[in-house]
């Protein structure tokens, strides 16, 4: 793989956190004294890769937007209280892949719209923190993906190789692919994750992987590389 800096999403790419999000929202609704959120709406916001604020905004509706900060705080307290780590698991092969990429000298960053505390706790639980040069996640009012701000503010200054042509964004939703497009760098769609195929395919990712282990074979998987059609 000629890419030396990999910007990797967390939810739906490295870890399957769907059950953790569902359980947290179930507990949150009970704590706040409202009816449980509809299962199909929960899956919908997960599949879209929305930030927590946007996810809760969709689930609550415009009428409850003024109360969003309190909902966000409660959600994070529940998720970070142990439920998030307990209900999450790495996708098959992720741990071995990360260690191999790190040992091969690849520079790995997590770039996620998920809260930083929850990501760090999960990495510690699975002893994966040492694989990453940095974790760029939701902190304060930091602009979420697909805004390119996090790259220029948090990633670019820490890159050992400053060549954007050697940067690859890896993620499972259109948010991640849009992030790569906004940065002008290559993209890899993790098709095994949460993202919806029609929304991701239209963004023409440079690579498509069907499992985490495919990351180790990108240079050999020429059939997975997107090429312009003869009509384009």
Model confidence at 129: pLDDT above 70: yes
pLDDT in tens, 69-117: 899 999 999 999 999 999 999 999 999 999 999 999 999 999 999 999 9
Distance CA 47, CA 91 (A): 16
pTM of the model as a whole: 0.88
- CATH 3.40.50.720 at 5-16+89-223, yes or no: no
User: Between 52-60 and 39-47, two packed helices, what is the crossing angle to 10 degrees?
Assistant: 150
Q: Which of 54-68, 105-119, 175-189 has the lowest mean pLDDT?
A: 54-68
CA distances from 231 to 227, 228 (A): 11, 8
> 15 forms bridges with which residues in the sheet?
11, 90
**pLDDT for 157:** 94
Q: Mind listing the pLDDT tens digit for each residue in 134-167?
A: 999 988 778 899 999 999 999 999 999 888 999 9
pLDDT of residue 228: 37
């Amino acid at each position: 793989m000629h890419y030396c800096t990999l910007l990797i999403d967390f939810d739906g790419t490295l870890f399957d956190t769907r059950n953790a999000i569902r359980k947290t929202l179930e507990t949150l609704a009970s704590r706040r004294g409202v009816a449980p959120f509809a299962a199909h709406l929960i899956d919908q916001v997960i599949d879209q890769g929305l930030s927590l604020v946007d996810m809760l905004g969709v689930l609550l509706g415009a009428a409850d937007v003024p109360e969003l900060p309190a909902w966000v705080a409660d959600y994070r307290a529940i998720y970070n209280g142990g439920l998030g780590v307990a209900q999450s698991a790495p996708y098959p092969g992720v741990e071995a892949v990360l260690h191999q990429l790190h040992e091969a000298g690849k520079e790995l960053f997590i770039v996620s719209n998920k809260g930083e505390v929850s990501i760090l706790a999960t990495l510690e639980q699975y002893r994966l923190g040492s694989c990453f040069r940095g974790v760029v996640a939701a902190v304060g009012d930091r602009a979420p993906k697909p805004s390119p701000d996090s790259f220029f503010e948090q990633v670019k200054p820490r890159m050992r190789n400053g060549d954007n042509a050697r940067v690859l964004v890896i993620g499972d939703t259109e948010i991640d692919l849009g992030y790569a497009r906004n940065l002008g760098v290559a993209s890899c769609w993790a098709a095994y994750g949460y993202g919806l195929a029609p929304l991701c395919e239209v963004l023409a990712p440079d690579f498509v992987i069907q499992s985490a282990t495919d990351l180790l074979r990108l240079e050999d998987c020429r059939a997975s590389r997107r090429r312009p059609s003869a009509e384009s």
